[in-house]
């Protein structure tokens, strides 16, 4: 009979349509490096949160040059030159990116992992809190053990507020208090003196993101020593973002990126991506207007990609896609940045 962990892992793989054989062998994780006590948990985490190569580069992230510089110094350089980051220069315990939703926090975390070639653990607190209900504390411990086994590695905890809201908040259960305490202990110990066989440090960088920084427990806030504001894109970043988004489509000669960037003040990166996506479909919509299914089926499809995206397409898309972040929300972030930001 298979151990129950194996059955669980297989059913997860089948749900995802993944046919590769995987066996959470007793005493070993997939890569045989994990030597903690929770092998079944480790196997599940490897399945769920391990992303070997996120494949996003800093150049794929529009604007945010100051955030990129800070992340480079706080996360990338300690991995490249660990001997320098010792004593008073020891790496920051953790880095928090905060700001309105859809501004590129997750994208930046992925770019950091790609740029420094570390193993990337992408943890969504909200899904973990529900999925690992009752076991979250054990999961947190196992996650850090696993990250050390894969070191150098980056643990990215998205929506950290949902795992770590302020202590004593209404409805806070005994269990969620325990998860928080475990997370604090693990962050404290993440870059302790453990070393690899060749003497290099087992560096585990902790990166977190939140759209609600004011909800974060103060103990955790203290440990996330660098707190970087990721704001809505400014004019220059919006120009860059539009160019990145239109890289793969044909653009009409009348296209004026400056006009679109000016018209989308207040849009998040995600909103602007939606505008570009919507505009890029307009040519197809025009071609298909009034056609029956049969006519569409018989149309030569290679002509579709040749239809360029025009300024008019953007005007229509901007009318359809409204910005998702309110002025009140931005003000709240800016106030929190003034009070607790640490860049
Ligand atoms: P957040 O984590 O801040 O909520 P994401 O990083 O998940 O936001 O961004 C959502 C999507 O919005 C991305 O997949 C990307 O398409 C787009 N996006 C947002 N900001 C940027 C940016 N600065 N550069 C490029 N794309 C961006």
Task: Identify the pLDDT of residue 343.
Answer: 79
Sign of the torsion angle spanned by Cα atoms 342, 326, 243, 249: positive
Q: Please check whether residues 164 and 187 belong to one and the same domain.
A: yes
**How far is the C-alpha of 9 from the C-alpha of 112, rounded, in Å?**
29
Q: Do the domain assignments include residue 335?
A: no
Average pLDDT (333-337) is 96
| CB of residue 315 inside a 6 A radius of ligand 1 | no
Alpha carbon of 273 to ligand 1 centroid (Å): 8
Find out whether the beta carbon of 58 lies less than 6 Å from any atom of ligand 1. Answer: no
| Same-domain pairing of 247 and 222 | no
CB of residue 241 inside a 6 A radius of ligand 1: yes
The alpha carbon of 35 and the centre of ligand 1 are apart by a number of angstroms equal to 36
Cβ distance 105 to 61 under 8 Å?
A: no
Has residue 334 been placed in a domain?
Answer: no
Q: Is residue 329 part of a domain?
A: no
Number of domains forming the structure of the chain: 2
Residues 210 and 271 in one domain: no
CA of 270 from ligand 1 middle (Å) equals 5
Q: Is residue 337 part of a domain?
A: no
According to the per-residue pLDDT averaged within each range, which of 123-132, 183-192, 237-246 is highest?
237-246
Among 229, 256, 280, the domain boundary falls at: 229
Q: Find the mean pLDDT for residues 136-149.
A: 86
- pLDDT given for residue 168 in this prediction: 54
The secondary structure element, H or E, covering residue 86 is: none
Mutate which of 64, 158, 270, 276 to test ligand 1's pocket (most atoms within 8 Å of Cβ)?
270
Query: Three-state SS for 342?
Result: strand
The CATH number that applies at residue 258 is 1.10.8.60
CATH number at residue 191: 3.40.50.300
The mean per-residue pLDDT over the stretch 320-343 comes to 93
Angle between helix axes 311-320 and 269-288 (nearest 10 degrees) is: 120
Instruction: Give Cα 278 distance to the centre of its chain.
Output: 24
The reported pLDDT for the residue numbered 2 is 30
Q: Are residue 165 and residue 281 in the same domain, yes or no?
A: no
DSSP annotation string for 199-260: S-B--EEEEEEES-GGGB-HHHHHHS-EEEE-----HHHHHHHHHHHTTTS-B-TT--HHHH
pLDDT of residue 165: 60
Of 335, 327, 339, 272, nearest to 103 (Cα)? Answer: 272
Confidence of residue 76 (pLDDT cuts 50, 70, 90): confident
Q: Which of 229, 264, 296 is the last residue in one of the domains?
A: 229
Q: Is 61 in the pocket of ligand 1 (CB under 6 A)?
A: yes
* For residues 205-225, average pLDDT: 92
What pLDDT, on a 0 to 100 scale, did the predictor assign at position 127? 64
**Measured from the CB, is residue 318 less than 6 Å from ligand 1?**
no
For atom 12 of ligand 1, the residue with the nearest CA is 270
Same domain, 97 and 37: yes
Domain that holds residue 254: 235-322
Among 15-19, 44-48, 333-337, the range with the most confident prediction by mean pLDDT is: 333-337
- At residue 33's C-alpha, the angle toward residues 27 and 37, to 5°, is 40
Does ligand 1 have an atom closer than 6 angstroms to the CB of 209? yes
Please report the pLDDT score of residue 173 as a whole number. Answer: 67
Q: Is the CB of 280 under 6 A from ligand 1?
A: no
Mean pLDDT, residues 138-153 taken together: 86
32-61 pLDDT, tens digit each: 467 777 787 788 778 777 776 778 999 999
Asked if 47 and 117 sit in the same domain, the reply is: yes
Q: How far apart are the first and last CA of the chain?
A: 54
Report whether 144 contacts 194 (CB < 8 A). no
DSSP codes, 293-322: HHHHHHS-GGGGGGSPB-HHHHHHHHHH--
Q: Which H or E run includes 98?
A: strand 94-98
Do 194 and 179 fall into the same domain?
yes
pLDDT at residue 214 is higher than 70 = yes
Residue 333 lies in a domain: no
106 touches ligand 1 (CB under 6 Å): yes
- The tokens for 69 are 């510089």
What pLDDT, in 10s, does the model give residues 248-280? Answer: 898 999 889 999 999 999 999 999 999 999 999
Which of the residue ranges 119-133, 217-231, 314-328 would you say has the lowest mean pLDDT?
119-133
Span 58-66, mean pLDDT? 92
Is 336 part of any domain? no
Any atom of ligand 1 within 6 Å of the Cβ of 187? no
Question: Is 167 part of a structural domain of the chain?
Answer: yes
The Cα angle at residue 119 between residues 227 and 29, in degrees rounded to 5: 125
CB of residue 100 inside a 6 A radius of ligand 1: no
283 in the same domain as 212: no
CA of residue 335 to ligand 1 center, whole Å:
23
Same domain, 68 and 199: yes
Question: Measured from the CB, is residue 308 less than 6 Å from ligand 1?
Answer: no
């Amino acid at each position: 009979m298979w151990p129950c962990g194996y059955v669980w892992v297989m059913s997860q793989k089948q749900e995802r349509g993944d046919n590769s054989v995987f066996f959470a062998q007793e005493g070993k994780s997939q890569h045989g490096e994990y030597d903690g006590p929770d092998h079944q948990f480790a196997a599940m985490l490897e399945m769920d949160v391990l992303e070997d190569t996120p494949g996003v580069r800093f150049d794929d992230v529009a604007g945010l040059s100051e955030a990129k510089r800070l992340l480079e110094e706080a996360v990338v350089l300690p991995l490249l030159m660990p001997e320098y980051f010792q004593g008073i220069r020891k790496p920051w315990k953790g880095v928090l990116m905060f700001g309105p939703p859809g501004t590129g926090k997750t994208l930046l975390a992925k770019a950091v992992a790609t740029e420094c070639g570390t193993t990337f653990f992408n943890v969504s607190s909200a899904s973990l809190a529900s999925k690992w209900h009752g076991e979250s504390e054990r999961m947190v411990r196992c996650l850090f053990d696993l990250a050390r086994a894969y070191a150098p590695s980056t643990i990215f905890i998205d929506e950290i507020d949902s795992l770590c809201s302020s202590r004593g908040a209404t409805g806070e259960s005994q269990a969620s208090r325990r998860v928080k305490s475990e997370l604090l202990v693990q962050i404290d110990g993440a870059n302790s003196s453990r070393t690899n066989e060749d003497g290099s440090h087992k560096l585990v960088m902790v990166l977190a993101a939140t759209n609600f920084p004011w909800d974060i427990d103060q103990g955790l806030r203290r440990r996330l020593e660098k707190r970087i504001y990721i704001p809505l894109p400014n004019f220059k970043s919006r120009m860059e973002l539009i160019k990145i988004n239109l890289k793969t489509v044909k653009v009409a000669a009348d296209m004026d990126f400056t006009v679109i960037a000016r018209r989308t003040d207040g849009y998040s990166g995600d909103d602007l991506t939606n505008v570009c996506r919507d505009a890029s479909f307009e040519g197809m919509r025009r071609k298909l207007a009034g056609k029956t299914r049969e006519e569409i089926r018989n149309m030569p499809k290679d002509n579709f990609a040749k239809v360029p995206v025009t300024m008019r397409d953007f005007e229509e898309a901007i009318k359809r896609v409204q910005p998702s972040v309110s002025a009140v929300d931005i003000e709240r972030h800016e106030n929190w940045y003034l009070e607790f930001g640490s860049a």
